[in-house]
Structure 1
Amino acid sequence: MAEVFHLNTPLLESINMSKRVGTTVYLKMENTQPSGSFKIRGIGHLCQQLARHSKGVICSSGGNAGMAAAYAAQKMGVPATIIVPSSTPPLVVQRLQDQGATVKIVGKVWDDANTEALKLAETEGLTYVPPFDHPLLWKGHASMIAEVTASLGPSVKPGAVVVSVGGGGLLCGVIQGLKDVGWTDVPIVAMETVGADCFNAAVKAGKLVTLDDITSEAKCLGAKTACKQVFDYSQSSELTIISELVTDQQALHAIQTFLDEERVLVEMACGAALAAVYSGVIVRLQNEGRLPALLGPLVVIVCGGSTINMEQLTYLKHKLQS
């Protein structure tokens, strides 16, 4: 039996958020994972399957995927190389090094770092760990929905699940999880920030779109193209996926409010999902008839984040509120 690297995370009821939307809000606290985010589920599973006898793993990541790959590699006793773009905060580089990983800074955005990671995987014979686009990742991420069902009990079904979208790995995992437990009729509210909105752009265009650049401060949502699987899901008549955008200011407001009310600091990428509640997106969707007026419990995936501390929060406040 392979060792499991992720924790069964708490599902907490939020009184404050429940008041805002008029239905019970449950928070799936993926920020409590040992690597700081949900990524350890999928990346841990993928590393178990593919990297057991590897001479090393290589991952391209602005933060959370790299942290998860470094953590899994350290647990397995395998070397890890993490390629990060120059937009990565120094604290993330430090945390990766503390986890025992070799860190290389390449290019301006994740896509540049990924090109380098793929090249090194080829030339140095390393196991490539994709941050979001792989069925083994989605299978690993799906475990969080199995935990939600166990926590809620057999008689309670969510009214909707709220999730942040970067490249689409988490969303694919959530959909896989909903399929596994027979909840494909539960709507998913897929949140992105303006400027890191490759999924929303694809939904609007009816085909995959590559953004020119990532201009949002939610750098961990910063894939220029969503994965094909997540786009295919968005076109499926069996699923209800509602793609919504918030501004960086709304995501920042969400993480500050969350810190005040729930005493937990998460990064901007996670703030996109929280903003669905704090910026009134859920209530608006109910008013528009896109979500039921009488909504069952709302499950918000608090995906976490390694790219935030008080210094970074202060920087974001100065940059976005000036």
Structure 2
Amino acid sequence: MKGPGTVELRDIEIFLTLAEELHFSRTAERLHVSPARVSQAIKKQERTIGAELFERTSRQVALTAVGRQLRADLEVGYRQIQQAIATASSAARGLTGVLKVGFSSAWCGNLVVRAADRFRARHPGCEIEIVEMPLHDRFGALRAGDIDLQLTELPVDEPDIVNGPVIYRDQRALTVPAGHPLARRESVCLEDLASIPLITITGPPQYWLDAHLPHHTPAGRTISRGPATIAWQEALSLVAAGKGACPTSIRSARYYARPDLAYIPFLDAPPVEFGLSWPSTGESVTVRAFVGTLVETADEEGPT
């Protein structure tokens, strides 16, 4: 039974929100209640406590000394209650333990970190570990169970791996030495690949290499090969040394900027896509929940 001095948890939420907003209408809008409900809750608490919590004028709302003390005393306990409820809810839905997420590029890593922060806040019983994926081994960590899902360049065409949503579709660009004639161009086309060797990557499946490092231009001209590497930073160093060029996403111009490199956008090449993937036997409630959180985070940020 409720005693005469009982204050509902919802009323505490209303008080703390009003203490932050200092505006009845904004508080009501934020909590999806009416301004009258906010006013009623505050008056009820003031009657219970026996003192005014807010000073109200036609121009402003301000906490009284009693209100400031109550806010300080309530905030810690209220956060603990919220976290306890969130933890119990996550456990009931199976959202506990460690989820290991891989990424292949700086912008994908940044997005995963932001999504992980949001996910931890929602599901305190679940921890996220973030791992950078090697360029040469696209699926080894997934198959070994070292990670649970990854955000990497497409395509992925593996019978034991699920393709999830595409997160980024970026304009394709060509990385060339800063002193190369193509570096003075505002754009390039696929036919230009016949004029410079491509740095190759050792390790990925042939279909992945064909998608990113073609052997012929659309007109059938041969695209020669430069040195091979297994690491992205080494590929950039080979380009800077004049050993060839390397196709990439236009975002690389911002995330991997170097004075000895130039990133020239393609006019006629398909976009570079980055998508989520996970083992076909590894889809769990936690994986599905994190995929939803990551998509939500990416959608809110929009193109960057």
- TM norm structure 1: 0.26
Which structure's residues are more often strand, by fraction? Answer: 2
Instruction: Give 1 or 2 for the bigger CA radius of gyration.
Output: 2
- TM norm structure 2: 0.27
